[in-house]
Amino acid sequence: MTTGGYTARRHAVPHTWWFIGGLLLLVPLLGLVLFFVPPSPSLAGAAGAVLMVLGVLVGLVAGYGLSTARFRRGLNGLHKGLILAQDGNLKPVEVPRFMDPALDRLYQDYNHTITTLGGMFSLVEECQNRVLSERNRMNVVVQVLPAALLGVDDNLYINTANRQAEILFGMRQRYLVGSSLFDILKLSDETREVLRDAFLYKQNIRNQVINVELDAQERWLSVNLSFVTEKEGEMAAVITLLDITDYKLLQETVSTREKLVAMGQLAAGVAHELNTPLGSILGYSQLLLDATDEPEKAARFAHVISDETKRCSRIIQNLLNYARKEQCQGDNCDVNTLIDEVVDTLISCRLKHHRITLERELNGRPLVDGGCGELDIVLTNLLINSVQALHDVKDPRVRIRTEQTSVGEVSITVEDNGPGIPRELRARVFEPFFTTKDVGEGSGLGLSISHAMVTRRGGTLRYDTECEEGARFIIRLPASLTKDH
């Protein structure tokens, strides 16, 4: 109604000026009448003067009226353009002909402004469409992720969840959103501390394996955590949780099978090594029967029989420990003592048979976490490989060296002066079923299984490529913080 009233007033103003102009035009017409038909001769001069003045005034008033009407028509054109712009139609208006210079500049500025605004709004609309398209694309990517994705805000409340998160936690998205992260994840105290430290010190997490309870079942998850910004105090982050429970079970199954395969490989060696202490037991038991009248000699023979029996038991126990699943009991392993036991129990006969010189450089008393049940298998594999590599080598030697490094690691070096491993094959020595031995002499699993065992203990097993004469393998394990048993 306001716009309509204004439009009525806008059209009423020109009509008023036309009415006034029409009245003023009557004055010259009246002057012509008086000029041709004067009422009296005495009034002719005065009438002419008056009519001249009136003619000038009429011209001025008519010119002002026409100029004002044209100016108002120009403003009305701009007003129509503004009305269209308010409705979102940003189009330039047509500039009228014979425009006042001031209005012409106003029209040009208006059209330039409208054109610029139109371009800006088009760019904004295009950017908005791109943002919406990208958001939709990212939402599809998030929803098809194989891992559960959770977004958390600064207060560690969930604000985003995908379909995999719904499946993993058995909850719809509307129930997940708004819940506390630590209420959703039922974590052990140790795992809870890991996540708390990550948020406290703003540290990203990469492939951290955690144990949680979901639907009254134990599940293993691989966790990745990244923060949205690097600013201090902003805890908003994105967390992915990949269920690797089936993979863990498969890994344990494969590990057990690897052990069984290795047991078959080592069984012959264990049986061979048992012959030595069993022969000693048999011989000393016969001597014991003949020395019944000499208590001191009988006691000495009985002590030897006891030691050899324990030695046999240790060989069998090591094999059984390897077959069983290793348990975390907080034990430590004295590396130097283990090496002595492995050499004396499993390798000594082979070394003597092949006339191989064994050099031991055992420094200090290095301890590593965990029992010795798997580490002795690793050392046995490395030593057997060295013995086999020294066939037909002049002056064969095997050297074992241990030390505790300054970075909190225990280093075990096993090397020989054999032909070594060809350079083109060194990258494959830890591959399963890869072997340089003849068919029937090796399964190709010894080094791969040894590498897996050392890796599970948090250590490394590598072939030293800088060794030019023979072969050298280096084991590095985290040193135990316990200084004594």
Q: Tell me which amino acid residue 291 is.
A: A
Q: Determine how β-strand 158-161 pairs with β-strand 332-334.
A: unpaired
> In whole angstroms, what is the distance from residue 181 CA to residue 143 CA?
19
Bridge partners (DSSP) listed for residue 212: 187, 219
**DSSP readout, 361-380?**
EE-S--EEES-STTHHHHHH
> pLDDT per residue over 419-429, tens digit each?
888 888 877 78
Average pLDDT score over the chain: 76
- 3-state secondary structure (DSSP) of residue 249: helix
Contacts of 469 (CB under 8 A, 6+ apart): 417, 420
- What pLDDT does 1 receive? 36
**Cβ contact 435:443 at 8 Å:** yes
Rounded to a whole number, what is the distance in angstroms from the first to the last CA of the chain? 98
Q: Determine how β-strand 148-152 pairs with β-strand 237-243.
A: antiparallel
Task: Give me the tens of pLDDT residue by residue for the chain, a chain 485 residues long.
Answer: 333 333 333 333 444 445 555 555 555 555 555 555 555 555 555 655 665 666 667 666 666 666 677 777 777 877 888 888 887 778 888 777 656 677 778 888 888 888 888 888 888 888 999 988 888 888 787 777 888 899 999 888 999 889 888 888 888 888 888 888 888 888 877 778 888 888 888 888 888 888 888 877 888 888 999 998 888 778 889 999 988 888 877 777 766 666 666 666 566 556 655 666 676 676 767 777 776 677 777 777 777 777 777 767 766 665 555 555 555 555 788 899 888 888 876 677 678 778 888 899 988 888 888 777 778 878 888 888 888 888 888 889 999 999 988 778 899 999 999 888 888 887 778 776 666 665 445 556 678 778 888 888 888 999 888 887 889 999 999 888 765 54
Bridge partners (DSSP) listed for residue 207: none
Cα 100 to Cα 15, 61, 66, 104, 105, distances in angstroms: 21, 18, 12, 6, 9
- What pLDDT does 473 receive? 93
Cα 455 to Cα 25, 173, 332, 339, 461, distances in angstroms: 113, 39, 17, 19, 8
Q: Any idea what DSSP says for residue 233?
A: T
Long-range contacts of 120-128 (CB under 8 A, 24+ apart): 121/90
CB-based burial label for 470 (10 Å; 0-12, 13-18, 19+):
buried
